[in-house]
Amino acid sequence: MVIYNKSKFLKSKRFILPFLHTKDLKPLASLLTPSNFIIPMLVVAILGQLSEDLKTTINPKDIQQIPSVKLYFKLLSSGKSTVNLSVLYAISKTLGPELETLSILNIRERINFLSLLQKKIVLEKSPAQIIPKPNILYDHVELMKHRKGLALQFRNLLIATPIFSNHSLVLGLSIGQTTIDCIINSCKFYWSLLGLNEEEFDFSLKKEAMNCIKKHSLKDLFEIPKSLMQTVKILLYVELKELTDFKNLLVFYDDLIVLRGQNNLTMIENELTFIQRKIPNLPQDIFVPDSNLKDLIIRAAIDQRKEQRFRIDNIFKRTEDKQPKSKLNINILKNINIKKTLHNN
């Protein structure tokens, strides 16, 4: 058993998964896997970094419409790691009805029983609904709806917090400074609070990554993981791959945003190495003679091109206004300084 100095952890720099209380989950600790913490934390942290970077130039409503943000939302709402964690959270809040059964089972039988209950809630087709009735624990049908409602509420909070309250996600550092190593250490902290062994954490995480490589035939893309950083990349890659169709790289073409981070990515996205976000391109320059301006099709095309250029110009202008040019990515500067020769008539 590894002994942890909790006072040291409390003073350290940590990432905090919102609304997750380990004292509630502790009775169900045996059902948790490291990826149940790692994947939600990574995605919430990326969203927090995007929101922090863009909050001075884009309002929260528009941030939620960015394609990459929508994909991260989808992973938090339907990805297997987050769904499993949210269901265990819901069960931990409503264990009363199973008391009689749990009291007569041994440890292994309890784990199997709770694992089956978890799967049943995940697969259940009944609607999700939080039901504030005092006798909810004694109505099987209503309890199922209530548990699904609690799980959905938990996932919705994971989605909303990094957009509207990203400062609450970190302790002792800024959201922009959060790295994958910080996420791993923070997960280990939660793991220790659940009374679980750090060596088991490392072993289980690497085992999950190896299983993913075999199951999804990723040997040509990923080597056998030698570090936890590599295992985390593999696990997140697979969950994203299950939600959207991409080959070796996940490329965001349509985000139309410019970030302060390297390669137009947040710090964590850049560390992952398999994500790209394209810098918005201005429309190609073209000269239209005055004699062609009476052509209605040409005129409409010019107006649309000018509108597109104006919109993308504003994206670069907002980036320029919030940060000195000397710190901007060279590729971004090239786009900002493009000569505008589009006909202005």
- CA-to-CA separations, 297 to 263, 284, 289, 291, 293, in angstroms, rounded: 38, 18, 14, 13, 9
33, two tokens: 């896997």
297 located within any domain: yes
Of 253, 277, 301, the residue that ends a domain is 277
pLDDT, position 329: 45
16 and 139 in a common domain: yes
pLDDT, position 324: 45
302 and 268 in a common domain: no
* Identity of the residue numbered 339: K
341 located within any domain: no
183 and 80 in a common domain: yes
Domain coverage including residue 294: 290-336
- Beta partners for 170? 15
pLDDT, position 7: 45
311 and 261 in a common domain: no
Question: Average pLDDT of each block of 10 consecutive residues along the chain (345 residues)?
Answer: 46 83 89 93 97 89 94 96 93 85 86 89 86 77 90 95 93 92 93 90 93 90 90 96 90 88 93 90 64 72 69 61 46 38 38
pLDDT, position 344: 40
294 and 234 in a common domain: no
Our count of domains for the chain comes to 2
Q: What share of the chain is helix, strand, coil (3-state, %, to 5)?
A: 65, 5, 35
343 located within any domain: no
342 located within any domain: no
211 and 162 in a common domain: yes
pLDDT, position 95: 85
270, two tokens: 């850049």
211 and 303 in a common domain: no
316 and 170 in a common domain: no
112, two tokens: 């199997």
250 and 294 in a common domain: no
172 and 309 in a common domain: no
170 and 114 in a common domain: yes
pLDDT, position 286: 63
